[in-house]
Homo-oligomer: A and B are copies of this chain.
Amino acid sequence: MIKPAQASTPIDTVARCAPMTREPLSADEAEQASTLLKALADPVRLRLMSLVLSHHDGEACACDLGDDFQLSQPTISHHLKVLHDAGLLDRDKRGVWVYYKARRDAIASIAALLS
């Protein structure tokens, strides 16, 4: 059976965009880029993303990520899920803990779009 072609992810699309300082974005490019920026455009998610990125190897256990916030664990988990669903964090379950790894390629693609 032939597998259907996998849909292009927002990160794939943004990675192919020319910097927006050089040429206008198409409607589709802007749609895809805005989904990544929306996922990042929240103070808690920005801090979580920066915490994971600055951890050793850009990877952190969910158990270490709530300490800096006066927020419940389910709220932290919700924000981590938004970042994961957007493709900005990879997730790996090991025993009872979930580890998050930052997708540096995704962050770099957004930076390149704005550069």
A residues in contact (CB < 8 Å) with B:
20-25, 27, 30-31, 33-34, 37-38, 40-44, 46-47, 49-51, 53-54, 58, 68, 102, 104, 107-108, 110-112, 114-115
For A31, what are the chain B residues with a Cβ–Cβ distance below 8 Å?
Answer: 43
For A41, what are the chain B residues with a Cβ–Cβ distance below 8 Å?
Answer: 34, 37-38, 40-41
With A31-B43, A34-B42, A37-B41 already in contact, the answer to whether A24 and B54 are too (CB < 8 A) is yes
Q: How far is the CB of A37 from chain B (nearest CB, A)?
A: 4
How often does this chain occur in the complex, in copies? Answer: 2
Q: How far is the CB of A60 from chain B (nearest CB, A)?
A: 11
The residue from B20, B43, B49 contacting A54, defined by CB atoms under 8 A apart:
B20
